[in-house]
């Protein structure tokens, strides 16, 4: 399925496993249900990623997070925004690997997804055909600055006002 990040289209390096069988896959993407089984087989240089439903609770995930290189949060529909909060929580709890949003998102959610801590979006074929990659990249620049502190690093308005104030005070 088509994959993209803030720079545009991206090649997929992950392979979905059959059940818990990760064999000798270098980057194995497994289902949440079989994650413990897959982790038990993991060799030193294998990378494991997991696809989770958006209903997973942090305490269930937290202990396993350190062994994961990628977490893909499923978006059952674009209107179901639980994935945004779950991503924030996962980041807040210290996950530094790759966060992927997986599902029929729309272009207008791309900036939100990145701000909430996602790195990339994996789309169903039909969504990707209607919404070419250029639209996604272009949409990122539509709103230069948001108001929320602590979301992404794009220089939110409150912090910009603050630095303007400090600069002004230093100059004055």
Partner 1 sequence: MYRYDEFDERFVRERVAQFRDQVGRRLSGSLTEDEFKPLRLKNGVYLQLHAYMLRIAVPYGTLSSKQMRQLALIGERYDRGYGHFTTRTNLQFNWPKLRDIPDILDLLADVEMHAIQTSGNCIRNVTADHFAGVAQDEVEDPRPTAELIRQWSSLHPEFDYLPRKFKIAVTGAEHDRAVIKAHDIGLRILRHPDTHEIGYEVIVGGGLGRTPMIGKVVREFLPKADLLAYLEAIMRVYNLEGRRDNKYKARVKILVHEIGTEEFSRRVEEEFARLDGPSVNADPAEVARIAAYFAPPAYETLPATSGAFEAARAGNPDFARWVETNLTPHRQPGYAALTISLKPIGAPPGDATSEQMRVVADLADEFSLSEIRVTHAQNLVLPHVKLSDLFAVWQRLGEAELATANAGLITDIIACPGLDYCALATARSIPIAQALAQRFADPARQKEIGVLNIKISGCINACGHHHVGHIGILGLEKRGIESYQITLGGDATENAAIGEILGPGLAAEDVPDAIERIVSVYLAQRQAGESFIDNVRRIGLAPFKAAFQDTNREVSHAVA
Can you give the binding site for partner 1, defined by CB under 8 A? 78-82, 84-86, 88-89, 92, 106-109, 111-113, 115-116, 130-132, 135, 139, 142-152, 157-158, 160-162, 165
Q: Which is nearer to partner 1, 64 or 139 (CB)?
A: 139
Q: Which is nearer to partner 1, 69 or 104 (CB)?
A: 104
Q: If you compute the radius of gyration of the chain from its CA atoms, what whole number of angstroms results?
A: 18
- Report CA 4 to chain centroid distance, whole Å: 11
Q: Which is nearer to partner 1, 97 or 152 (CB)?
A: 152
* Smallest separation (angstroms) from partner 1 to the CB of 41: 31
What strands, in cross-sheet order, belong to the sheet with 27-31?
Answer: 8-9, 3-5, 120-122, 98-102, 70-74, 47-52, 27-31, 15-16
Q: Report whether 27 contacts 43 (CB < 8 A).
A: no
* Smallest separation (angstroms) from partner 1 to the CB of 57: 9
């Amino acid at each position: 399925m088509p994959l993209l990040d803030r720079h545009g289209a991206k090649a997929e390096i992950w392979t979905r496993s059959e059940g818990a069988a990760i064999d000798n896959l270098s980057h194995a993407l497994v289902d949440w249900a079989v994650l413990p089984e897959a982790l038990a087989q993991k060799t030193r240089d294998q990378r494991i990623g997991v696809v989770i439903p958006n209903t997973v609770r942090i305490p269930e995930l937290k202990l396993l997070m350190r062994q994961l290189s990628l977490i893909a949060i499923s978006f059952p529909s674009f209107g179901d925004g639980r994935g945004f909060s779950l991503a924030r929580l996962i980041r807040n709890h210290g996950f530094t690997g790759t966060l992927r949003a997986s599902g029929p998102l729309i272009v207008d959610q791309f900036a939100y997804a990145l701000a909430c801590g996602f790195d990339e979006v994996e789309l169903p074929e039909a969504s990707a055909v209607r919404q070419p990659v250029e639209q996604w990249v272009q949409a990122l620049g539509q709103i230069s600055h948001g108001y929320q502190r602590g979301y992404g690093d794009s220089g939110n308005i409150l912090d910009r006002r603050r630095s303007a104030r400090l600069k002004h005070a230093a100059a004055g």
